[in-house]
Structure 1
Amino acid sequence: MDHDQSQGAALLRLLPFLWLLPQSWTAPRGIPITEVYTLKPLEFGKPNTLVCSVSNLFPPTLTVNWQHQFSPVEGAGPTFVSAVDGLSFQAFSYLNFTPAPNDVYSCIVTHEIDGYTAIAYWVPQNALPSDLLENVLCGVAFGLGVLGIIVGLVLIIYFRRPCSGG
């Protein structure tokens, strides 16, 4: 088992140098594809996480930077890289944030070997209703229920009285 692990570690150390091989020996290089999305459903004012997903990546050497309203953002988590098929890789970068209706975030991915830069933007779309709306609707439904009970009791009492004959 230790022998297999040492071979794997040796291969991982050689991975950054694969780009030096002749083009015919390596997997075809494509343009990295970048997209940004939230980890949880979007709710304004509630903490969430932005995910910058990079696919079609070879070799797996990249830099990921985040911007908010076109200004650099610090505090992004580390970038995780994993193998997909053959010599293709994918990467993920995470940024914790609290969304607001006018936010614009961008994930800037620079491929270190050829200097290619891909930018993906995130703007809020399809936000879930706020807690205030839920609370108002719940209060209205409760009030209508209480009103229905009171009207029902009044009608029962009114119709249980004996009719006066005359």
Structure 2
Amino acid sequence: MKELLLFLSCVLCVSADVLHEDIAVDACSASDGEKMFGLDGEEKAYADFNKQEMIYPQPPFVINPFHYREGTYEAAVANQQVCKQNLKIRRDAMKDIPLEHDAPSGVTIYTRDEVEFGEKNTLICHVTGFYPAPVNVSWTKNEQKITGSSINIPYPNKDGTFTQISRLQFTPQLGDIYSCAVQHLALTEPETRLYDVEASGQSDPGVGPAAFCGVGLTVGLLGVAAGTFFLIKGNECS
């Protein structure tokens, strides 16, 4: 009976765990709006009110792309009207309450893939921990402003702040230095991160090979120790 109760308790514990977190956001301002669906911290889809369609930012290797049913975009447009009406009511009620500003708590720049000179890659500028949304991200190459980057819509964090990611397609070449500069209401000046292509190409190849060698050395030493042990035992028996 005790074993049965223990088994049932374990089943209940497992079933209580959250496997996935789904989120849907309706947001608006006087000049902009947002409708976004997310799963486990990733965007599934969002409404582009300029293109007048739903956008599905899924990686190209997805075999069966996911899409919501027809009418999802139209419903997002209708929700924007409701959002703006509610926004006006809340602004009138909170007009004397100062707006809270939180500067980004983390700004990092890195590449999507391992760097190979002359091979196309993607630079990523990851900005998180800010409020309110959004941030503005600009890029430079060798101190010259460049265009062509993209940025996702603000994604809400569990603590009420936001995360945004800007991406820039580039081809690593020796001597090039890139930067992403982040602007936000809570920052008195842009927060900038640099990416040196040459330094990245000469960096440590990573912990993978070192870890592999370390494990191999450990296994080899254990094998020697085990062989010595059995050799001694064999001599004792003889």
Q: Say yes or no: TM over 0.5.
A: yes
Match of 2:196 among 95, 98, 123: 123
Alignment correspondent of 1:109: 182
Paired with 1:120 and 1:57, the residues of 2 have a C-alpha distance of: 16
1:78 is displaced (CA, Å) by 3.1
Is the alpha carbon distance of 1:39 and 1:21 closer, same or farther for their aligned partners in structure 2, counting shifts above 3 Å?
farther
Alignment correspondent of 1:67: 140
Is the alpha carbon distance of 1:31 and 1:54 closer, same or farther for their aligned partners in structure 2, counting shifts above 3 Å?
closer
1:30 is displaced (CA, Å) by 3.8
2:97 counterpart letter in structure 1: P
Paired with 1:121 and 1:20, the residues of 2 have a C-alpha distance of: 40
Runs of 4+ in 1 over 6 A off after TM superposition: none
Paired with 2:103 and 2:185, the residues of 1 have a C-alpha distance of: 14
Which secondary structure state, in structure 2, belongs to the residue aligned with residue 41 of structure 1? coil
> 1:83-98, aligned counterparts within 5 Å?
83-98=156-171
Is the 8 Å Cα contact of residues 37 and 51 (structure 1) preserved in structure 2?
Answer: yes
Is the 8 Å Cα contact of residues 104 and 127 (structure 2) preserved in structure 1?
Answer: no
Indicate the structure whose relative CO is greater, using CA pairs within 8 Å and at least 6 residues apart: 1
Which secondary structure state, in structure 2, belongs to the residue aligned with residue 80 of structure 1? coil
- TM-score normalised to the size of structure 2? 0.43
Which secondary structure state, in structure 2, belongs to the residue aligned with residue 85 of structure 1? coil
1:29 is displaced (CA, Å) by 2.1
Summarize deviations over 1:128-165 as a string: whole Å, max 9, x none: 8xxxxxxxxxxxxxxxxxxxxxxxxxxxxxxxxxxxxx
Summarize deviations over 1:61-84 as a string: whole Å, max 9, x none: 221110000000011123432111
Alignment correspondent of 1:35: 108
Is the 8 Å Cα contact of residues 80 and 93 (structure 1) preserved in structure 2?
Answer: no
Alignment correspondent of 1:142: none
Is the 8 Å Cα contact of residues 33 and 118 (structure 1) preserved in structure 2?
Answer: no
Which secondary structure state, in structure 2, belongs to the residue aligned with residue 10 of structure 1? helix
Is the 8 Å Cα contact of residues 48 and 98 (structure 1) preserved in structure 2?
Answer: yes
Paired with 2:105 and 2:111, the residues of 1 have a C-alpha distance of: 20
Aligned-residue Cα RMSD (Å) equals: 3.5
Alignment correspondent of 1:132: none
Aligned pairs, number: 121
- Does residue 77 (structure 1) correspond to residue 146 (structure 2)? The answer is no
Match of 2:128 among 55, 59, 70: 55
Query: Structure 1: which 5+ runs fail to align?
Result: 129-166
Identity %: 24
1:87 is displaced (CA, Å) by 1.7
Summarize deviations over 1:13-57 as a string: whole Å, max 9, x none: 85xx7x97735x85x724442111001111110000000011111
Larger radius of gyration: 1
1:126 is displaced (CA, Å) by 4.4
- TM-score normalised to the size of structure 1? 0.59
Is the 8 Å Cα contact of residues 138 and 182 (structure 2) preserved in structure 1?
Answer: yes
